[in-house]
RNA sequence: GUGGAUGUAGCUCAGUCGGUUAGAGCGCCUGGUUGUGGCCCAGGAGGUCGUGGGUUCAAGUCCCAUCUUCCACCCCA
C-alpha cells in the first residue's frame, strides 16, 4: 500500500530547472537591496492570529490560513503569515532598540488561501521580497524604495515595465470632491482600480450597480480621467484648489517624481495614475504598483506604499513606514513567458569521466584541481562505459567532458570534449586552462 | 468566494453509432562488440482509462456523485 504522492493545490516543488534561475534572481535582489543599505531579517512563518487580523481588507478572513491548533484559547490561535509587512510592524514594535530609520529587506514565503492560477503567477505559497524603511516621514524614503525596485526590474530586463503612482489622500480628495462619504472610498477605489481593465463604461456600470447616484458617478469619472502629468498637473491642481489635503498629496507626488528622476529612474517608467487604488487597507500616503503591458493577464509584479499607521497598532504610538513587495514567483513566471528557452538543469560545467581503473586516481585528482580553481565539476559516480557518461552529460547539459585514459595519461595529456559543438582536443594535463570552462 | 472547463502510459494527446487482447508521438531501458553523447536502425518496459456508484448482455465511451487540475472573475505578489 503506497501513499498517493500529491501536492496541495497552489504549492509546488521547485526542480533544479526552476531553482537555478530563481537563485540567480534572488542573488540580484540581495545585491541591490544591500547596495542601497537595506539589511536582511527573517520572521517566523507562524504568527499569532490576532497579529494578522484586521490589517488586510475585506477578503482577509477568507484568505488567511488559520491553524487548527489550540483553537480553544483565542489568545493562542495561530495563522500562517499573509505578507511580510505586518510581521515587520510587529518586529519593529518588539525591538524598540533598533536605530531609526530602520531599513530592512526580507525574502520569505507567504501563504494566501485564494484560488491558484499558475499562468498568472498566482500561488497559495509564494515568495515575497520586501523592502521597507521604518521611522522616516521623508519622501526620500518613498523615493528610495521605488528607485530600488525600478533598478531591479531594469536589471531583469522586463520590457517596458510601468510603475503607476498614486496617493491615498488624493483618492480621498476625489471621493470628497465627488460629494461622497469617506466610508464609500473603499468601494469607489475598488471599482476605479479596474479602469484599465474594464474601461470607463465598465467602471460607470459597477459604480451604478453599487448604488451610487448617477451624478456622483459622473463626478468621480470626470476627476479620475483628468489629464494628469507630473510635469503639468494644471487641470488636476485647479480642481483641487479648494481641497488642501488633496493639493498637498499632489505636491507630494510631484516631489516624489522629481526625486525619482534625480535618483536615475527613467521618466518613461513612471506614470501618475489616479485610478490606482490597491486593496490593502493599511496604506496612508503614496502608493505604487508595477504591471507589464506585454502581459496584461499577469497581476502586479511589485506593489507598495506608505503606511504610517500600521506600526502604531502594535506600538501604541505611530511610527511612519514605507515599503514595497516584489513578487519573485510572478517575476520568474513573467520572465519565462517573455523569454522561453532552454534552462540549465545543473550548475556543473565539467564532467570528469571514469572508465579506466589504471587512471582512476588521476581522474579524481583532476576533478579536485578543477574545483580548487572554482570550476563546478562532477565526477562520474559509477565508472563504466564512456558512452553512458557522455549521454549523462548531454542530458544534463554539462558543456565539457574530460577523458583521462591510459593513452592520454602516458603522455601527460587529457582529452577535452566540447559537448555543445561536438569537437574534442587533447591538451597537456599540466597546462589545462580552467578559464574555458567557466 | 463566483462562473466555466478538464481527467486515457513519465509527458502531449488519439480512441468512431457503447462491442473482443486500449493506441501514437516524445521520453525511458537494452543492443547496433573492443575508449565517445546528439542523428539513424532494431528490440523492450510501462496503463487501477482520476475515484465510487449506476444503466446495459457489454462502459475508456452513457448517467449521477466525488476528487483533481486548469481558465476567467474577485483580490493581489
Q: What pLDDT does A355 receive?
A: 92
Assess contact for A265 and A178: CB atoms under 8 A. no
Q: Exposed, middle or buried, A395 (CB in 10 Å: 0-12/13-18/19+)?
A: exposed
Instruction: Work out the pLDDT band at A3, boundaries 50, 70, 90.
Output: confident
Where would I find the H helices in A117-243?
Answer: 139-155, 168-177, 185-192, 195-209, 214-224, 234-239
| Strand partners of residue A352 | A379, A402
* DSSP category for residue A386: H
**A206: nt with nearest C1' to CA:** B74
Whole-Å CA distances, A388 to A155, A347, A353, A354, A393:
40, 20, 10, 11, 9
Cell numbers 470626470: residue: A222
Q: What pLDDT does A1 receive?
A: 55
Residue A390 has pLDDT above 80, yes or no: yes
Q: What pLDDT does A191 receive?
A: 85
Residue A388 has pLDDT above 90, yes or no: yes
Q: What pLDDT does A45 receive?
A: 97
More confident residue, A184 or A342: A184
Give the tens place of pLDDT for each residue, A349-384.
999 999 999 999 999 999 999 999 999 999 999 888
Q: What pLDDT does A372 receive?
A: 95
Cell numbers 502581459: residue: A295
Mean pLDDT of chain A: 91
Q: What pLDDT does A58 receive?
A: 81
Closest alpha carbon to C1' of B38, residue: A394
**A406: nt with nearest C1' to CA:** B35
Over residues A228-244, the mean pLDDT reads: 82
Domains along the sequence of chain A with CATH:
16-338 (3.30.930.10), 350-437 (3.40.50.800)
Retrieve residue A269's grid coordinates: 517608467
Q: What pLDDT does A21 receive?
A: 92
CA distance A359 to A172: 78
Retrieve residue A209's grid coordinates: 450597480
Give the tens place of pLDDT for each residue, A242-301.
899 999 999 999 999 999 999 999 999 999 998 898 877 789 999 999 999 888 888 899
**A328: nt with nearest C1' to CA:** B77
Over residues A14-39, the mean pLDDT reads: 95
More confident residue, A214 or A286: A286
Retrieve residue A268's grid coordinates: 518613461
More confident residue, A270 or A438: A270
**A356: nt with nearest C1' to CA:** B35
| Neighbouring residues of A157: CB distance < 8 A, sequence distance ≥ 6 | none
ipTM value: 0.89
Residue A277 Cβ < 7 Å to strand B: yes
Cell numbers 513606514: residue: A321
Assess contact for A49 and A20: CB atoms under 8 A. no
Percent of chain A predicted with pLDDT > 90? 66
Residues 130-189/A with CB within 7 Å of nucleic chain B are none
Residues 182-201/A with CB within 7 Å of nucleic chain B are 190, 193-194, 197-198
Give the tens place of pLDDT for each residue, A181-208.
888 887 888 888 888 778 888 888 888 8
Amino acid at each position: 500500500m503506497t501513499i498517493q504522492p500529491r501536492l496541495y493545490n497552489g504549492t509546488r516543488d521547485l526542480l533544479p530547472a526552476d531553482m537555478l534561475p530563481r537563485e540567480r534572481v534572488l542573488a540580484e535582489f540581495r545585491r541591490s537591496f544591500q547596495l542601497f543599505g537595506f539589511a536582511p531579517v527573517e520572521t517566523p512563518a507562524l504568527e499569532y492570529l490576532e497579529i494578522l487580523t484586521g490589517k488586510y481588507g475585506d477578503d482577509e478572513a477568507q484568505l488567511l490560513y488559520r491553524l487548527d491548533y489550540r483553537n480553544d484559547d483565542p489568545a493562542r490561535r495561530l495563522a500562517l503569515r499573509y505578507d511580510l509587512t505586518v510581521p515587520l510592524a510587529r518586529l519593529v514594535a518588539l525591538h524598540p532598540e533598533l536605530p531609526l530609520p530602520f531599513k530592512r529587506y526580507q525574502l520569505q514565503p507567504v501563504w494566501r488561501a485564494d484560488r491558484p492560477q499558475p499562468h498568472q503567477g498566482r500561488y497559495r505559497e509564494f515568495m515575497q521580497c520586501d523592502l521597507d524603511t521604518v521611522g522616516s516621514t521623508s519622501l526620500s524614503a518613498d523615493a528610495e524604495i521605488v528607485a530600488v525596485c525600478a533598478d531591479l526590474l531594469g536589471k531583469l530586463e522586463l520590457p517596458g515595465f510601468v510603475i503607476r503612482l498614486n496617493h491615498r489622500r488624493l483618492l480621498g480628495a476625489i471621493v470628497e470632491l465627488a460629494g461622497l462619504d469617506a466610508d464609500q472610498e473603499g468601494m469607489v477605489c475598488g471599482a476605479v482600480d479596474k479602469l484599465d481593465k474594464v474601461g470607463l463604461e465598465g467602471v460607470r456600470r459597477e459604480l451604478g450597480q453599487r448604488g451610487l447616484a448617477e451624478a456622483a458617478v459622473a463626478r468621480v469619472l470626470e476627476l479620475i480621467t483628468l489629464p494628469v502629468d507630473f510635469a503639468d498637473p494644471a487641470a488636476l491642481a485647479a480642481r483641487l484648489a479648494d481641497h488642501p489635503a488633496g493639493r498637498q498629496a499632489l505636491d507630494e507626488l510631484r516631489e516624489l517624481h522629481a526625486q525619482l528622476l534625480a535618483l536615475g529612474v527613467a521618466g518613461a517608467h513612471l506614470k501618475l495614475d489616479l485610478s490606482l487604488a490597491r486593496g490593502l487597507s493599511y496604506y496612508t500616503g503614496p502608493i505604487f504598483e508595477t504591471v507589464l503591458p506585454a502581459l496584461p493577464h499577469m497581476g502586479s509584479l511589485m506593489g507598495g506604499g506608505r503606511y504610517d499607521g500600521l506600526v502604531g497598532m502594535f506600538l501604541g504610538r505611530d511610527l511612519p513606514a514605507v515599503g514595497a513587495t516584489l513578487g519573485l514567483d510572478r517575476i520568474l513566471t513573467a520572465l519565462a513567458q517573455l523569454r522561453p528557452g532552454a534552462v540549465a538543469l545543473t550548475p556543473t560545467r565539467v564532467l570528469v569521466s571514469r572508465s579506466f581503473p589504471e587512471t582512476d586516481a588521476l581522474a579524481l585528482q583532476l576533478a579536485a584541481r578543477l574545483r580548487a580553481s572554482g570550476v563546478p565539476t562532477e565526477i562520474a559516480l559509477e565508472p563504466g562505459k564512456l558512452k553512458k557518461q557522455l549521454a549523462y552529460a548531454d542530458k544534463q547539459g554539462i558543456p565539457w567532458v574530460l577523458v583521462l585514459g591510459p593513452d592520454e595519461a602516458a603522455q601527460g595529456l587529457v582529452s577535452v570534449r566540447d559537448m555543445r559543438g561536438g569537437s574534442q582536443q587533447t591538451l597537456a594535463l599540466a597546462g589545462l586552462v580552467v578559464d574555458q570552462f567557466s
